[in-house]
Amino acid sequence: MADNGKPLEGKIALVTGSSHGIGAACAVKLAKAGAHVVLTGRDVKALEGIEDEIHAEGGQSTIAPLDLTENDSIARLASAIASRWDRIDILVISAAYLPTLTPVTQIDPKQFNQAITTNLLATQALLAAFDPLLKRSGQGRVIGMTSSVGSQPRAFWAAYGATKAAFESLLDSYAQEVEKIGGVRVAIMDPGATRTKMRAKAYPGEDPISVKPPEIVGEQLVDLLVKDFPTSHRERVVKTS
């Protein structure tokens, strides 16, 4: 790693859900640390705004708009990235869908299916598509953003929590499978209460100033990557401001 204030210089990073919230903050912090960041999300205008912010600070990024739930979108993205780079060093899985909070007996099937597709099926597709590029890095790192409801079930959060529980299981299994056959390592990060649109949707009466900004999560993500970690690592963001 470079010792010039940019410890991730030369690294290629892909961040899903990087148009808003935690994903956007992680992308900006990764670029500031020297990584070339591939920005993905559905909101093209928002992605352009994040890219402008990165470039204004002297960072490097590439926009790759896509809907993770569309057929073959992830495979097409992997093919496009492979045509430009021979590897990917960092994969941050931040995109997620939060269904309406409701009792288990009243879960909306359409929303539940959207959560399963976005939070779980897309994760498996990302790992399958980018596994070869991660292995070519020699030091590929996968960071999955989770929620405490994935391991601590909570009333009315089942539709989201169930997908995050499966998300964690998927990442842990992948970590074990690749641990002894290459340099890929996996960490699962719980951002905790963070000032995002998703948080506002879940807690509409909460004062957003009372919870930390997503930039704090981005900073801890970079710290984790720079210090490095053993595979199947768990990380919780405990800073509050």
pLDDT of amino acid 112:
98
**pLDDT of 241 over the 60 cut:** no
- For 13, residues 6+ apart whose C-beta sits below 8 A from its C-beta are 27, 30, 35, 36, 37, 38, 88, 89, 90, 91, 92
Residue with tokens 């959207």: 114
pLDDT of amino acid 182:
84
**pLDDT of 110 over the 70 cut:** yes
DSSP H helices, the chain, are 21-32, 44-56, 73-84, 109-115, 122-137, 158-178, 197-202, 214-227
pLDDT of amino acid 120:
97
Q: What's the whole-model pTM score? A: 0.95
**pLDDT of 119 over the 90 cut:** yes
Q: Which 3 state secondary structure label does DSSP give 74?
A: helix
What is the tally of helices (H) and strands (E) in the chain? 8, 7
Assess contact for 60 and 32: CB atoms under 8 A: no
What is the rounded average pLDDT for all residues in the chain? 94
pLDDT of amino acid 124:
98
pLDDT of amino acid 1:
45
**pLDDT of 239 over the 80 cut:** no
Q: What is the pLDDT of residues 130-145, one digit of tens each?
A: 999 999 999 999 999 9
What values do phi and psi take at 232, rounded to 5?
60, 30
Instruction: List residues with catalytic annotation.
Output: 160
Q: What is the pLDDT of residues 167-226, one digit of tens each?
A: 999 999 999 999 988 899 999 999 998 999 999 999 999 998 999 999 999 999 999 999
Integer Cα distance of 136 and 223 in angstroms: 23
What values do phi and psi take at 14, rounded to 5?
-115, 125
Range scoring the smallest mean pLDDT among 91-100, 120-129, 229-238:
229-238
Integer Cα distance of 195 and 193 in angstroms: 7
Domains of the chain, CATH where assigned: 12-234 (3.40.50.720)
